[in-house]
Structure 1
Amino acid sequence: MQALQAIQNEILELVARGEPLRALAERLCRLVEAHDPSVVCSVLSVDDERRLRPVAAPSLSPRFSASVDGVPIGPKAGSCGTAAFLGREVVIEDIATDPLWEGFAHLALEAGVVACWSRPIRGSDEKVLGTFALYYRERRGPSPADRAIIERCTHLCSIAMEHDLLIARNRRLALADQLTGLPNRTAFEEDLAAMTGRGPCRTGLLLVDVDGLKIVNDTLGHASGDALVATVAAALSELEGGTRVYRIGGDEFALLRPDGASPQALRALSSAIFRRLRALPQNATALGAPSVTIGGAIDSEMCKLRRKADLALYHAKASRRGSYLLFKEGMRTAIGSRLDAIREVGAALAEERMTTYFQPIVSLADGRIFAMEALARMRREDGSVVTAGAFQPALDDAAIACAITDATLARVAATIRAWDDAGVVAPKIGVNVTAFDLARGGLDRRLARACDKAGIAHHRISVEITENAVLRAGDRAVRTTLAALKRRGVRIALDDFGTGFASLTHLLDLPVDVIKIDRAFVSRMRTDARARTIVEALLSISRGLSLNLIAEGIETEAQAQDLRRMGCPFGQGFLFGRAEAPEIAMELYRRLGRRDADAAQRTSAEATARRMSAA
C-alpha cells in the first residue's frame, strides 16, 4: 500500500505541475510495472467519435499500439474496446481463444501477452474517458493485489484525463473566435510560426477586410455588426481547397494556402470569395450583400508574408476598396509616401496649420458672385501654402479625411460669421466632403455643430460630393447621409459630374440641387464636338430636372461666351478668380456684388497683385 501511495503522490504532483497527459500516463505505467514486474500496463483514451486512441503503453510494441489506434469501441473490440463500450471491466484470461479478441489476438500474442484485464476510466460525470489495462504474460485473471493497483490507477487516470480535457478546452477557447467559431489571431500567429521551419515552400496569404463594419456598428448597433461579420465568416468557411480561415481582427479575416501557392491560385480564391458574397441575398445583412476588400501575398518567409499582405490590403483599401490586390514591390513606395503625407497633415491639423481658401462661383449673365467654394489648404512649416493635391495621399485615410472636413466646416462657419459681422452678408459657401464623411454617418450633425458654434443658419453651408465618393461610400450610406442634410435645409451639389460611372442614375437616386460639369468637358468643348454635345445635353437635363448647373474650369472668355450662348447659368474657374484667403475673398465679394465678368477678372488680378506685393 505504501508503494501505491507513493505512486499516487508522484502522479498527482505531475498533474499539479501540468505535465502532458502522455508523459504522465507513461510514467504511471512504468511505476506500476516496476512495482509488479508480472504486469504490462496500457492507457487508452476514447475520442469524440468513440474510437480508441493510444495514450501510453511503454512496454508494448509500437506495432501493437498502432493497431489499436482508431479502432471503434464495440461489443467485440478486444478487452479495452469492449470495456469502454459496455462501461464495465472486462477480464480475458486467454486472449488466443476469447471471441472478443477475434481479429486482434495475433497482435497481442506477438507482443508477448496472453491475458488482459481492462477497466473503464470515468470522468466526474460518469462519461467513459478511456481505459486502463493490465496485460499478463501467462493465462490468468487479476489477483487481489492487481485489483488494488487498477483501482488506484483508474482513479489517477480519471483525474489526469479530466485535467487534460480542461486544458484542451481552455486552449480551444483561447484559440477560437467566440463570434464566428473560427481560429483567432493567436491561432493564426502560432500556425505562421509553425510554418517557419517547414522549408522553402511558398505560402499564400489573403487578408480580407469587411467593408463598412464601423458604419454598421455606429449607426445600427453592434448586433447588426456582429451579424455582418458572422455572414462573411460563414461564406469564407465554405471555401474549398484546403484553405485555412482565421478571424484576426474585428473586421479582418486571414486565409492561408500553405502548399505551393501561386498568383493564379490566390486570384481564383479571391474571385471565389467575391462570387460567394455576391450570391448572398440582398437582405443578408443590414448593408445588403456584404462587401470586402482583399490583399494578397506569396512568400516562403512568414514574417515577410504577413507584412506584404498587410501592405497589399492597405493599398487596396486606399485605392480600390471592394477589390483584390496582390502585393507588388512598388506598393512599399506608394504606401511610404502616403504615410509621410498622413504624418504631415496630422501635424498640420494638430498645429492648426490647415486653412481654407475660397473660390468664387459667378453668374455668367452679369458676373455677379453667386456663391463660393471652400478649398482646403495646408500651410507647411516653412510658411508656404499648398493645395490639396500636395497632400492627396493623406485623404485616403478615413481619420485624416474626416478631421479635415470638420476643420473646414468650422472655418467656413466662422468665416461666414466674420463676414456678416463686417457688414458683408456672405454668400452660400460649398464644402467638399469625402467618401468617408458620407459613409460614417452623422455628417449633418457635424455641420450643424459648426454652424451652431458660429451662430449661423445650417443652410448657409452647402455640401459638394463627387460621384467617385458616392461609389466608394455605397448608395445606401450616401442616401441616408444626404437625406439627413436635406432635412436641415442644406443644398447638395454633385461635383465633377460625368467622371463617375453612373452619372444619370445618381440624378435619379440622390437628392441633389446642383450639377457641376467637370472641367474636362469645358476645356474640350471648343475643339471636340462630342464634349460640346455632352455639355449641351447636361444643360438640357438640368433644366428638365429643375437643377442649377455650374460649369467648372472656365479659363478663357471664349469658353465663357460659348457657355452663355448655350444658356449655362453659372461658372467657376480661373477666369473669374482663383481660390483666395478669407480676407481677400471677402474683399472680392464686397466689390463684385453686381459687376460683370471682366470686372471680376480685373479685381481678382488686383487682389493677387496685392497679395504678392505683401509677400
Structure 2
Amino acid sequence: MDQEVLEKLLRAQQSITEMVSSGASLPECLEEICSSIEQALASKAGKSSILLLKGNNLHHGAAPSLPKAYCDAVNGVEIGESVGSCGTAAFTKRQVIVADIATDPLWADFKGLALPHNLVACWSTPIVSSTGEVLGTFAIYYPEIRFPEPEDLKLIDHFTGLSRIAIEREYSMQREQVLNAQLKTSNEKLKAFISVIPDLGLILDEEGNYIDIYGGNGELLVVNSSELIGKNIREVIDCDTAVQLTSAIRRALEYSELEFLEYTLEVKGGRRVFEGRICPINHYLPEQPEKKHVLWIARDITEKKQAEENIERLAYYDPLTGLPNRRMFNDYLDCTVDKIARYDLIGALLFMDLDNFKRINDSLGHTVGDQLLVKIADNLKPFIGPQTNLSRLGGDEFVVLLESKSKNIDNVHREASKLAESLLDVFSQTLTLQDAHYAVRASIGICLIHEKAVSASEILKRADSAMYKAKKAGGNRYAFFDPELQRMADLQLRIERDIEAAISKNEFEAYFQPQLDMGGALVGAEALVRWIHPEEGVISPDKFIPIAEQTGAIHRIQEIVLRESCELIVALKETGASHDRCTMAINISACQFDVDLEERIKLVVDEFSLPTSKFKLEITESMLMENVEMIVEKMQSLKSKGFRFSVDDFGTGYSSLAYLHSFPIDELKIDRSFIKQIESKGTAIIDAIVSLSQSFGLRVVAEGVETREQLEILAEKNVSSVQGYYHAKPMPAHEFITWVTKAKRCEN
C-alpha cells in the first residue's frame, strides 16, 4: 500500500470515527465509508455497497455510486446459500469473491439484475458484530471480470470493521432510546399509582441510598423527605434495623425476587411497625442505566399488629399475670407429649398449688389476692427457659413443664426434684404488699412423662394427684406421682446432703489395695475411696459415687483421694518401704474429662514434688466409647505430662480392637468376674485378653484374686501383676504402710 493510499485511509478513518462519536446518523456514516473506500481502491471503477440484515432479509444501507434501480431491485432480498455474493456471505458468515457474475452459480438467479447495469464482479464480506451476530454485508462491484489483490482485501477488511462500529453504535443508541422511553413511562405510572395509596414508595440504590420518595404520609418518615434524599439508610436508622433493611435490598437484587420483611422504626409519628415489600428496578436512572435500584413499599401495620397481639393475648395469656393460660398450656402440653413419644424422650410436669390461699382471698379480698398472684408470677418467671414452660391454669394453680435433654429416667427424676426445690425456695420468700408481709407457700406434684400411651389430660391429672399428696403430707413440699419414685427422690436428696456434709467433716478416706507381681513383690497400689459414715459405718462407693458424679461433688472427693495417695507415696519413700517403680492407680470418672482434669491432678502432684510417672489413671472400658475424639485428646495430653493409663474392668464393655489401638493406654485390668469363674469355666477369656495385651505391648493386671488356685493359674498366663483379697484387702494408709513393712521383712 503506497504512501498516498495510506494517507487517504488514515484521513478517512479519522473522519468516519469523528462522525460516529459525534452522533452522526447511520446513513451519513455508511455513505462516508462507501465514498472513502472507493477513493482508496487502486481501481477507481470500484463501487461499494453496504446492506443491513434485518431478520433474514438484507436492506439498503448505503451505495453512493451504484444505480438506484439496482439498489431498489436487491433491497429486501432473503439471504441463502446461492443468493448472489451478499446474500450468500450473510448466510454463511464467510467472505464471498465472485470475479464473473455471468458464469458464477451463486448469481444464477440474480445476474439478470446486475449485468444490465454493467456490474460484472462482486466481492462481499459479512459485517459481524462483537458478539458474533451478522449485521449486514460490505460489497465492492466492478464493471469487468476481476479478482481482488491482497491490498484490496486489506482495505475491505478495514472498512468492514468501520462499518461494524457505526452499525453497533446506532443499534446501541436505539436500544437506549427505547429503554429510556420505557423507563419514563414506568416512572410516570409508578408516580400515579403511589400518589393514590397510603403506603410509602421509596427508591433506593444497591448501597442503601435514598433516591426518590413517593406518596404516603410524611409522619411515617424518619425525617422530612427533602432531608432524606441522598442519605444512606445507616445515617438515619438505628444500626440493627439498617443491617436488616440493607440485607433485604441485597437479597432482592441478588435473586431478582420480591422480598418481604417486617420491621419497627421510630418515625416522626412515633414508633411504628412496617411491612416492607422490595423488588428490583432496572435502569431507573437514565443517566446511570447500569446502576441497580429497588422499589420499597412500606406499609404501616402498627394497628393491625396491635390488634393481632391483643387477640392472641386474650386467647392464650392470663390477663392478670401475663403468663400463658390454660388453653395455651394445653396446646403446649399436647405438642410436648407427642414429641416425647415420637423421639423417645422424657419430660416432667410440675403442678403447683398455693397452700391456704383461699384464706387470703376470703379475709383480705380478691384485690389483695390478685396482687399477690402477680408478685408470685413475677418471682416464678425467671424459671422460663428453653427447657421449661411456666403457665397459670387459673386461680392459685401454676404449672411448669420440663423438657429434659436426657433420655435416662433417673436423670430426669433428679432434674425435676432440683427444679421443685428451687421453686419451693421462691415460695419461702416473704411477700411485701403495701407495708404488709405475707408468707405464701406451695405444694408441688410431679409427674414424669415417659409412657407413650398416656394422654396429656392424664398427665395433668396425675400431677394434680401428686400435688394433693404433697398437701396431705403437710404442704410446702413436693411429691412424685409414682410412690417408688418418691422414695428414690427422698433417698437421692438425703444422700446429696450427706455427701456435702461428709466432705466438710472429712468422712471420705482413701483406702489402698496392694498390687504385686507374680513373684509376690510390691509393684503398686490402687487408691479406693471409702465413706466412713458416723452412723451407718462404711458406705459402699456404688451407693454414692453415681450421685457425686451427677452433683459435681466427685471432683472434691477425687482431690481427697489424690492428696492422701501423694501423702502415702511420700511416707513409703521416707520409710524405704517401696521402690521407685511402685505406682499408684487413681480411678477417674467420665465426668472429670469434661472439666480441667489435667490442671487439677497436676496441681496436687506438683505440690508434693512427685513425678507424674508414679500415677496410673484408671478409666473404665465404657468410657472409651463416649466422645472418643475428646477422650483421646485429653488422654494424650496427660500422657505427654508423664501419666500412665490403665483400663479397668476390661472385657465387660464393648471396645473394639480399632478403638483400643487408638487410645494411649499402658495397662489392661482383667475384671474380677472373669477371675471368679477361672476354676469353673476355664481361662479362654483370660487367654484372649493376655494375648491381645501382648500384641499391643500392654501390661495385664488381674483384680479380684481371692484364692491360691486362682493365683497359680494366673502365674501360668503371663499376667503382669495381681491384686485381691488373697494378698490383702483395701486398707487405710497407716495400715498399708504396716502391711508393706511387714511384707518386706518377710521377703528379707
Change (3 A) 1:541 1:309: closer
Match among 608, 613, 618 for residue 464 of structure 1: 618
Change (3 A) 1:188 1:457: farther
Q: Distance in 1 between matches of 2:586 and 2:735?
A: 18
CA deviations 1:48-104 (Å, max 9, x no partner) are xxxxxxxxxxxxxxxxxxxxxxxxxx97999997132458xxxxxxxxxxxxxxxxx
Using the TM superposition, give the Cα deviation of residue 508 of structure 1 relative to its aligned residue in structure 2, in angstroms: 0.2
**One-letter code aligned to 2:567:** A
If the length of structure 1 is used for normalisation, what is the TM-score?
0.51
What SS does the aligned partner of 2:502 have? helix
Match among 82, 85, 104 for residue 197 of structure 2: 82
CA contact (8 A) 1:367 1:595 kept: no
1:377 aligns with 2:524: no
Using the TM superposition, give the Cα deviation of residue 306 of structure 1 relative to its aligned residue in structure 2, in angstroms: 2.3
Match among 369, 376, 401 for residue 306 of structure 1: 401
**One-letter code aligned to 2:495:** A
Using the TM superposition, give the Cα deviation of residue 577 of structure 1 relative to its aligned residue in structure 2, in angstroms: 1.2
Using the TM superposition, give the Cα deviation of residue 354 of structure 1 relative to its aligned residue in structure 2, in angstroms: 1.4
**One-letter code aligned to 1:430:** A
Match among 162, 168, 174 for residue 271 of structure 2: 162
CA deviations 1:2-24 (Å, max 9, x no partner) are xxxxxxxxxxxxxxxxxxxxxxx
Using the TM superposition, give the Cα deviation of residue 406 of structure 1 relative to its aligned residue in structure 2, in angstroms: 1.8
Q: Distance in 2 between matches of 1:338 and 1:503?
A: 35
1:124 aligns with 2:124: no
Match among 691, 696, 700 for residue 545 of structure 1: 696
What SS does the aligned partner of 1:588 have? helix
Match in the other structure for 1:480: 633
Q: Distance in 1 between matches of 2:216 and 2:631?
A: 71
Match among 527, 530, 539 for residue 386 of structure 1: 539
1:520 aligns with 2:673: yes
RCO comparison, higher one (Cα < 8 Å, 6+): 1
After TM superposition, list the pairs within 5 Å mapping 1:230-379 onto structure 2.
257=335, 261=338, 263-267=340-344, 304-307=399-402, 309=404, 315-316=410-411, 327=450, 329=482, 333-364=487-518, 366-379=519-532
Using the TM superposition, give the Cα deviation of residue 267 of structure 1 relative to its aligned residue in structure 2, in angstroms: 3.4
Q: Distance in 2 between matches of 1:203 and 1:124?
A: 40
Q: Distance in 1 between matches of 2:390 and 2:665?
A: 45
What SS does the aligned partner of 1:593 have? helix
**One-letter code aligned to 1:477:** M
CA contact (8 A) 1:402 1:434 kept: no
Q: Distance in 1 between matches of 2:318 and 2:618?
A: 45
CA contact (8 A) 1:465 1:493 kept: yes
Match in the other structure for 1:414: 567
Change (3 A) 1:331 1:161: farther
Q: Distance in 2 between matches of 1:541 and 1:495?
A: 15
Using the TM superposition, give the Cα deviation of residue 118 of structure 1 relative to its aligned residue in structure 2, in angstroms: 8.1
**One-letter code aligned to 1:162:** R
Change (3 A) 1:436 1:262: closer
What SS does the aligned partner of 2:271 have? helix
Match among 298, 303, 326 for residue 197 of structure 1: 326
CA contact (8 A) 2:516 2:522 kept: yes
What SS does the aligned partner of 2:694 have? helix
After TM superposition, list the pairs within 5 Å mapping 1:105-124 onto structure 2.
119-124=217-222
Using the TM superposition, give the Cα deviation of residue 350 of structure 1 relative to its aligned residue in structure 2, in angstroms: 2.2
Q: Distance in 2 between matches of 1:121 and 1:419?
A: 88
Q: Distance in 1 between matches of 2:346 and 2:500?
A: 37
1:402 aligns with 2:511: no
Match in the other structure for 2:733: 582
1:491 aligns with 2:600: no
Change (3 A) 1:199 1:298: closer
Q: Distance in 1 between matches of 2:625 and 2:412?
A: 14
Match among 700, 706, 712 for residue 561 of structure 1: 712
1:428 aligns with 2:583: yes
**One-letter code aligned to 1:342:** E
What SS does the aligned partner of 2:585 have? strand
Q: Distance in 1 between matches of 2:669 and 2:511?
A: 19
Match in the other structure for 1:47: none
Q: Distance in 1 between matches of 2:487 and 2:389?
A: 17
Change (3 A) 1:460 1:547: same
Q: Distance in 1 between matches of 2:676 and 2:486?
A: 36
Using the TM superposition, give the Cα deviation of residue 487 of structure 1 relative to its aligned residue in structure 2, in angstroms: 1.8
Q: Distance in 1 between matches of 2:535 and 2:614?
A: 34
Name the larger-Rg structure: 2
What is the number of equivalent residue pairs in this alignment? 365
CA contact (8 A) 1:75 1:81 kept: no
Q: Distance in 1 between matches of 2:318 and 2:695?
A: 60
RMSD: 4.6
CA deviations 1:521-544 (Å, max 9, x no partner) are 212233235xx3111011111122
Select the structure that is richer in strand: 2
CA contact (8 A) 2:413 2:489 kept: no
Match in the other structure for 2:263: none
Change (3 A) 1:119 1:162: same
Using the TM superposition, give the Cα deviation of residue 512 of structure 1 relative to its aligned residue in structure 2, in angstroms: 0.8
CA contact (8 A) 1:368 1:595 kept: no
CA deviations 1:282-304 (Å, max 9, x no partner) are xxxxxxxxxxxx99999997955
What SS does the aligned partner of 1:201 have? helix
Match in the other structure for 2:594: 439
Change (3 A) 1:560 1:262: same
Q: Distance in 1 between matches of 2:318 and 2:407?
A: 19
Q: Which runs of 5+ in 1 are unaligned?
A: 1-73, 88-116, 129-156, 173-186, 206-256, 271-293, 600-615
Q: Which runs of 5+ in 2 are unaligned?
A: 1-188, 203-214, 229-265, 275-300, 306-315, 348-385, 416-447, 452-481
CA deviations 1:327-367 (Å, max 9, x no partner) are 47565554553343232222222222211000111223x22
Match among 713, 724, 727 for residue 573 of structure 1: 724
Using the TM superposition, give the Cα deviation of residue 202 of structure 1 relative to its aligned residue in structure 2, in angstroms: 5.9
Change (3 A) 1:198 1:465: same
